Copies of this chain bind each other. A is one copy, B any other.
Amino acid sequence: MRRMTARPANAHQAKLLKLLRDAGPNSRAQLGDQVDLSRSKLAVEVDRLLETGLVVADGLAASRGGRRSHNVRLNPELRFLGVDIGATSVDVAVTNAELEVLGHLNQPMDVREGPVAVFEQVLSMAAKLRASGLAEGCDGAGIGVPGPVRFPEGVPVAPPIMPGWDGFPVREALSQELGCPVMVDNDVNLMAMGEMHAGVARSVGDFLCVKIGTGIGCGIVVGGEVHRGVTGSAGDIGHIQAVPDGRPCACGNRGCLEAHFSGAALARDAVEAAEQGLSEELASRLAAHGTLTAVDVAAAAAAGDATALDLIREGGNRTGQVIAGLVSFFNPGLVVIGGGVTGLGHTLLAAIRTQVYRQSLPLATGNLPIVLGELGQNAGVIGAARLISDHLFSPA
């Protein structure tokens, strides 16, 4: 039986586990340098962790000029499941306790099919990963959903793009199916956690993580912690007004950012442009596929199509304007741009940067990097694994 049941018994053990997770195998001596404990006390706690099975011995390290150290590491048999439910696709990944992705599956799927259908899909993907020998069991799972979540309970609330999910007990249901602890969060927050853990936001305490996919959202990290807001809807910037009296939005208002730029809006605008004969490139793609997506626009832009480039620039400007306001307000140390439309690459990034650097206060932008996310498709699932591991590696 290798299923993880133990939890750290105290804050020291929790800190050690997180250290081993983030820094990999380590000797007692090296751990001691980082946790502010005497060697004796540290040895005691490490021994207790070894007893629980959360941590295992990992052979001898090379000498550093004296006696060789006995390394310890997180139990390599531990497995976390990272699930990222997007508006139009589902990602499932298996990681070890150090949050390295061992296997990753992606499946197109419309979230509006509802929780039951989606979870059937998730479970079958998880089963496939397990069948491939990557995991015997599952010690915990993190789930991201594209909408606000009442975090303590793990329940989506009033999600605009996934009405069938309102109030569905995601955490409880999935915990039962998988037989392990489950944590649920907004997908954007998880992307932020992913980039913070293994991506471009390592060692940054306060940053914003803007995800532009089917919709637009923003992960807010304050002092290394995700800020979720009092009802779990923090970061929902898609419905901030970007254009006074602009396009009508599904939410009932006009001029929302999301109505002017997002995967969906971009596709819509591209179709319009193609139909109006503004771009042969887009028109031919429309004829070929019968529809257009952000990917088509990216391809057209890469081919030098002026209309596609304009659409991207225009969207980047809108987005940049909104981000400029948020930067003035929040004064982050970093802005990460991620999500499906990162395929639009530097055209988009340049437009966003221009707006932010022009409109925000110099003091706030003086030393503010605005960069693309590093983890791409992996950000969400890594963040999800991180979420559950943060939970399980905290005292019970």
Contact = CB atoms under 8 A, between A and B. Distances in A.
Interface of A: 148, 157-158, 205-206, 218, 220, 222, 227-237, 239-241, 244, 251, 253, 321-322, 324-326, 328-333, 358-364, 366-367
Contact of A328 (B239, B362, B366): B239
A259 to B, nearest CB: 13
A143 B33 CA distance: 39
A157 B367 CA distance: 14
A56 B358 CA distance: 56
Task: Give the top 6 A-B pairs by smallest Cβ distance, nearest first.
Answer: A229-B331, A234-B331, A230-B333, A240-B325, A233-B363, A158-B363
B362 A158 contact: yes
Nearest to A157: B363
Contacts of A227: 206, 222, 330
6 contacts: A158-B363, A231-B331, A233-B328, A236-B329, A236-B361, A326-B329
Q: State the number of copies, please.
A: 2
B222 A206 contact: no
A241 B329 contact: no
A206 B233 contact: no
A232 B366 CA distance: 12
A229 B364 contact: yes
A363 B228 CA distance: 13
B218 A329 contact: yes
A146 to B, nearest CB: 14
A249 to B, nearest CB: 11
A216 to B, nearest CB: 11
